[in-house]
A and B are shown apart, each in its own frame.
Chain A
Amino acid sequence: MTMPLYVQGGWFIGALLFIFGLKGMSSPASARQGIVTAGYGMLVAIAATFFIPGLQNLALMLAALLIGGAAAWISGKQVKMTDMPQMVAIYNGMGGGAAAAIAAIEFAKGDAHSVVTTVLAVVGALIGAVSFTGSCVAWAKLQGVLKKAWRLPAQNAVNVILAVVSVGLGVAMIGCAPAEPVLILGFFVIALLLGLVVTLPIGGADMPVVISLFNAFTGLAVGFEGYVLGNPALIIAGIVVGAAGTLLTQLMAKAMNRPLSNILFTPMVASGAGEAITGTMKEVNALDAAAMMRYAAKVIIVPGYGMAVAHAQHKVWEMTAILEEAGVEVKFAIHPVAGRMPGHMNVLLAEAGVPYDKIFDLDEINAEFGQADVALVIGANDVVNPSARTDKSSPIYGMPILDADKAQNVIVIKRGKGTGYSGVENALFYTDNCRMLYGDAQPMAGEIIQHLKTLG
């Protein structure tokens, strides 16, 4: 269908604003303006669509826009910053579902004219559907609705069979247009099942990478359906996101030293892995911890997701301010996958008011642990586990870690003696220079603040 110029123009402006917006989002100073720009792009693109001549089902369309938009707007306003990753996952899954649904109507109408169009419609539908159910599983895992990693016997074989069957059904649909309803239904059931089965065995620690991957998937699905619809705005927005998301996924996987194929096909097995650790965990109380930091020259704080869950960011920042007033140099060290997504911890610290120039990433700060008097680990675990450097049999061997163990003293604030998100024992807790401060991060930071004040 050829569209009138004013509709095409609206979509063009939309695509243009998306690219400017994303460009703006790539630098902290212009990031806020960037999302607003992209937002205008979306409004223009949607508004232009209403001017398509002969558009049917207008009331239904408005109702759908209102229901979907309002529900997401309200939930997005209410979600806590710590729960942001699963929220991104669920919105992303919805985009994938929308792309798959577009293809479903396309198949039902039998409008696809060339082989290229049909092939792209099928591929877009497949990855859109996988992204939809996969993202739902990712949400459920991070939200804590789904606690266990379900692993089927012969998991990889099941994955391959489902993938082959869905591609086969897709090929069958390409062969006959309009496709049989049974064929369409079968294709989508298998594709949705594939997303479920692929994602279920993946552990929580790998979820950020998976969410990013599904984000790229949805982008590609949107781009392909854009071609099917003959809509360049969808193609551009979808493919830009697909490429950006793929690169982002690679950066994340690299930060965890886990090749993407490992994450998807051989999930981390924690039980019985790694060398036995000798030594004991040694406790410390809040007063001693406060004194150690107060009389230190340099303290490096390693915050983890546990700190965020305990909402201790503000207390920790208050503590930092007191230490700095007393002349102690304080820095924050952030592991690339601290939190649940790369940069998530930076967002959480920014929320608490910690300035940029105190926050350092792994490459910048690792050399400095040797000169630090105290490394304070708050609610972080796997990202400071020295087994990743030394123990070849450990499941996390090879993952780049923050070298907290190289500091003169290590204080770990932790709720109990349990293992980290990966389920691996942490050798750091048993080393001679490490002291455990058991308790919730927020009251513990509060106690340290009290003691620091009395120490003067």
Chain B
Amino acid sequence: MSEQSSVRLDGQGTAAEAVSDEVARSEEASILLDGQKVPFSEGQTIMDAAMAAGTYIPHLCHNPEFKPHGSCRVCTVTVNGRTAAACTMPAQNDQVVETSTEALQTERRRLLQMLFVEGNHVCPACEASGNCQLQAVAYYVGMLSPHYNHFYPQRPVDASHPDFFIDFNRCILCELCVRASRDMDGKDLFAISGRGINSRLVVNSPSGRLGDTDFHTGDKAAHVCPVGAILFKHQGYDKPIGERLYDRQPISEVGDARAAEQGDQSNE
């Protein structure tokens, strides 16, 4: 591609702005988030500042325990009138950020619809239903149907591991398992292969099967999937559908599924 295509990100001034990040920020540095003055500290993104202030910005690939990734684009907000991903955009003093205009919610709905038709997401038959962020965010943005034509990709399930299934049909390519296994578990068991619409999650073993890895229930990567792609065996439907996390409250109030799960465990 030509550099032409990077005008939006590489236009005049943006690199200078990036460098001016280093300009010392006072304690009072703040952004205007949906009209509310929200403080932030050096190095925080808009998402960080919003989360700290208790403002929910829909997201899927973002998990505050990991370096921002910016692939799902569901957290797109407007910053001084221009769109940007809240999870990767550094907060800068006096930014005017809008998180939930009708235009943004429409864009999010379309992004969600794209994710739904790209894979094979059958909520009523999915063990993750009610605990799935994809489903919960879809409800939150008012998505009533997948709208676009389904791609119906052929993606075999990997059930080779004694303790896990990987149902690639539900993978949304957020790379949280890739990042967790590489950066926290030090195992590097997952990777992304292919290109474009043929991009796919692969397992890092000569056979390509999870059963031939040392993936373990104690791995961080086993606990970060925001959808129902990485599932534990032996414990399906422990909690009936209808009583699950997002069955009772919207995601904007209870937050990310995995964070909530950890909260549950620490309470128990």
Whether A and B are associated in the same complex: the answer reads no
Interface residues, chain B, with chain A CB atoms under 8 Å away:
none
Interface residues, chain A, with chain B CB atoms under 8 Å away:
none
